[in-house]
Chain A
Amino acid sequence: MMGRYFAIRIGRAALTIVLVVTFAFVVLRLSGDPALMILGPEAPSEVLAAFRKAWGLDDPIWFQYLDYFGAIAKGELGRSMRDGRPAIELVLERIPATLALTLPAFAFKVALGVPAGIYAALHRGSAIDRAVMMTAVAGFTVPSFVLALILVLVFAVQLGWLPSGGQDSWRHAILPIATLSLGGAAVLARFTRSAMLEVLGQPYIRTASAKGVPWRKVVTSHALPNAAIPSVTILGFMVGTLIAGAVVVESVFAWPGVGRLLVVAVANRDLAVVQCILLLVAMTMVTSNLIVDFLYGFLDPRLRTKGAHA
């Protein structure tokens, strides 16, 4: 039963990736004749024909489609129009910079948001609960570029403690990471709180108390495992944004990561780079969804054995 559950999900993930690649192919073809786009409308027709032949653009469309798949499988995603380097190379070399922001930010989000949410749920209606919730609402209603600008104004301009942009030292990473963490922690806190409250209201919590389980253990061994199930969804989504979740923040802080590369590539109509980033994002999203599904199966026995007993 368990193997089947996972097999189905892996199949679905693979199908999603095929669809994404197909979509990229279609968009690419719809966006115009690559020969015309690259050589320009003034190019003589013989040159255009030679170009098409050289790049296989006169092959049947299904052949091109398969070819495209083959190329992607080999990691050949075209060359950047700006400097002629392979797009994949350009993107890959930016990933460490992005992860340097998003990974610590992810850790902070979890370390801050989850305990805050749990605490707020356990002390519902208390002053701390209200404070957490107010911060959380503020945290996700304020857009990240506004938050980034506020942080820059306070810590860079007014106090002069931290640099406002660039990537020269670890100190440059502090403000971007803070910006990314605060918003995410707010979302996570709210989500964890409501998941926890939902679980704490369930009859099985009362059953556990009624059999004499100390409250601390009711929370840790009965409430948390159940509250973790919905929380995994939002965590999975956050993992999915590790690669491309910092577009705004990287732009504001002039951080040379994938997000900034995307902004520049879009501005320059550097199609190969944009396509490469989008495919990469799609793959991370699909992978993180897959991980979430696996975690569901692990956390929730009802999914594993559903229907074994009608």
Chain B
Amino acid sequence: MSAPLVEVSAISRSYAMRSGMFGRAAAVHAVDGVSLTIAKGETLGLVGESGSGKSTTGRIVLGLEPPDRGEVRFDGKPMAAPGTPAWRAQRARMQMIFQDPLGALDRRLPVAAQIREPLDIHGIGTPADREARVRELLRAVELTPAHDARYPGALSGGQRQRIVLARALATKPDFLVCDEPVSALDVSIQAQVVNLLCDLQAQLSLTLLFISHDLRVVRQISNVVAVMYLGRIVEIGSADDLFARPEHPYTQALVSASPAPGRRSAGRIVLAGDPPNPAARPQGCAFHPRCPRAIARCKSEVPALAAVGGDRQVACHLVTGAETRDAA
């Protein structure tokens, strides 16, 4: 395994959220002690439901938001203070793409101008170089030069996401954070963009943090997958192995809830209860109120993420607790 490009150690982030217009402000722990490393040229998939803190994690890793505690190191160095030249240089090496490409694009500018924009901002190359680079990028995302004079409104959802991708790649970044990049796309278009991302990653040896609620897409693109629940990582391991043999009861439920054509649900795990509310985090293991296998210890003690063999780590008393495992 090559040296890590991104090292995230024990980051936490909480927000003060008012419940209602005049309610008392409560601290919402969006991210709570998350540690990750992403090796150069690899993809880490981050899965979880709404409120799991996966998007906030992505924003912190990218330096769009400071962590309250913990640290993010990029290529061995801590993130520079926002606004400094060192920060700008770092930021040119990391880019982000979001779920909604239309929101990320300016409807009033032709797409070529938008792809060129980061080159202008970072002052890369001569104007002629930039034009050439824009054409090269359009080719890279499998669009024809005929597309460059169009406006975002005249493109399909898949084409827009390609434009966003081309713009993100303009500064030749090493690291790309993708937050639900294909969730708004139809299946056939989704497959095009997933294939494109895989190809580009291989060609440009990109390192990716791929955030999605869609287990299938995450498995397709990731080397390592981390599962988040209420701001914490509950399980992490290599993609194929994790989905084939999930250990954490939550991961098991997620995998079981992902329906597959041609595989009738035999004994699907259906979790009771509503999606978790980050403002009212349960004591102990945050998952215990919905866990079909919770024991007394789960209600009081927060399980730590611990290695369980291979490269798998799980935060669950039932999996890591020696006595309980024997008893089970």
Q: Which residues of A contact B (CB under 8 A)?
A: 1, 4-5, 8, 303, 305-308, 310
Residues on the A chain within 8 Å of B20, using CB: 1, 305-308
Nearest A residue to B24 via CB reads A307
Residues from chain B with a CB closer than 8 A to the CB of A310 are: 19, 277, 279-280
Those of B174-189 within 8 Å (CB) of chain A = none
A-B contact pairs, 18 of them (CB 8 A): A1-B20, A4-B22, A5-B21, A8-B22, A303-B21, A305-B20, A306-B20, A306-B21, A307-B18, A307-B19, A307-B20, A307-B21, A307-B23, A308-B20, A310-B19, A310-B277, A310-B279, A310-B280
Output the nearest chain A residue to B277 by Cβ-Cβ distance.
A310
For residues 11 through 41 of chain B, which have their beta carbon under 8 Å from a beta carbon of chain A?
A: 18-23
Separation in Å of the B247 CB from the closest CB of chain A?
Answer: 31
Most buried by B among A4, A303, A308, A310: A310
B18 nearest in chain A by CB position: A307
Q: How large is the interface on B (under 10, 10 to 19, 20 to 34, 35 or more residues)?
A: under 10
Question: Whole-angstrom distance from the CB of A115 to the nearest CB of chain B?
Answer: 34
Contact partners of B280 in chain A: CB under 8 A = 310
**Chain A residues with CB under 8 A of B21:** 5, 303, 306-307
Best-buried of B23, B277, B279 by chain A (most CB within 10 Å): B23
Write the chain A residue with the least CB distance to B28: A310
Query: Bound state CA distance, A306 and B19, in angstroms?
Result: 8
CA of A306 to CA of B280, assembled, Å: 17
Closest 3 CB pairs of A and B: A307-B20, A307-B19, A306-B20
Give A83 to B13 CA distance when docked, in angstroms. 70
- Other A-B pairs, 9, CB within 8 Å; known A307-B23, A310-B277: A5-B21, A8-B22, A306-B20, A307-B18, A307-B21, A308-B20, A310-B19, A310-B279, A310-B280
Chain A residue with the shortest CB-CB distance to B17: A310
Nearest CB to that of A4 among chain B residues? B22
Cβ-closest chain A residue relative to B21: A306
CA distance A187 to B277 in the complex (A): 44
* Mask of B41-69 contacts with A, CB within 8 angstroms, 1/0: 00000000000000000000000000000
Enumerate chain B residues within 8 angstroms of A307, measured Cβ to Cβ: 18-21, 23
CA distance A306 to B18 in the complex (A): 11
In the bound complex, CA of A4 to CA of B24 (Å): 13
CA distance A81 to B183 in the complex (A): 73
List chain B residues, Cβ under 8 A from A306: 20-21
Residue of A at shortest CB range from B20? Answer: A307
Nearest to A305 among chain B residues (CB) is B20
Residues of A within 8 A of B23 (CB): 307
A303 / chain B contacts, CB cutoff of 8 Å:
21
Give the residue name and chain of the B residue nearest to A303 (CB).
B21
CA gap between A303 and B21 in the complex, in Å: 9
Q: How far is the CB of B49 from chain A (nearest CB, A)?
A: 16
A214 to B19 CA separation, bound complex (whole angstroms): 38
B279 to chain A, nearest CB (A): 6
Instruction: Give the Cβ gap from B16 to chain A, nearest Cβ, in Å.
Output: 14
- Shortest C-beta distance, B165 to chain A (Å), equals 33
Provide the B265-282 mask, 1 if CB < 8 A to any CB of A, else 0. Answer: 000000000000101100
Tell me how far the C-beta of B19 lies from the nearest C-beta in chain A, rounded to whole angstroms: 4
A275-B19 Cα distance, complex, nearest whole Å:
43
Shortest CB–CB separation between residue B230 and chain A, in angstroms?
Answer: 14
**Could you tell me the distance in whole angstroms from the C-beta of A10 to the nearest C-beta in chain B?**
14
Nearest to A306 among chain B residues (CB) is: B20
> How near does chain B come to A4, taking the closest CB pair, in angstroms?
6
| A305: B residues at CB distance < 8 A | 20
Q: List the B side residues contacting A308 at CB < 8 Å.
A: 20
Nearest to B279 among chain A residues (CB) is: A310
Query: Hey, which chain B residues are within 8 Å of A5, CB to CB?
Result: 21
A1 to B23 CA separation, bound complex (whole angstroms) = 10
B 200-216 to A, binary, CB cutoff 8 A, 1 in contact else 0: 00000000000000000
Cα separation A308 to B22 with both chains bound (whole Å): 11
Name the residue on B nearest A7 (C-beta).
Answer: B22
Per the bound structure, the CA–CA distance linking A4 and B20 in Å amounts to 12
Minimum CB distance partner of B23 in chain A = A307
Chain B residues with CB under 8 A of A8: 22
For B22, the chain A residues whose CB sits under 8 A away are 4, 8
Q: How far is the CB of A112 from chain B (nearest CB, A)?
A: 36
Q: Which residues of B contact A4 (CB under 8 A)?
A: 22
Complex Cα–Cα for A308 and B280 (A):
13
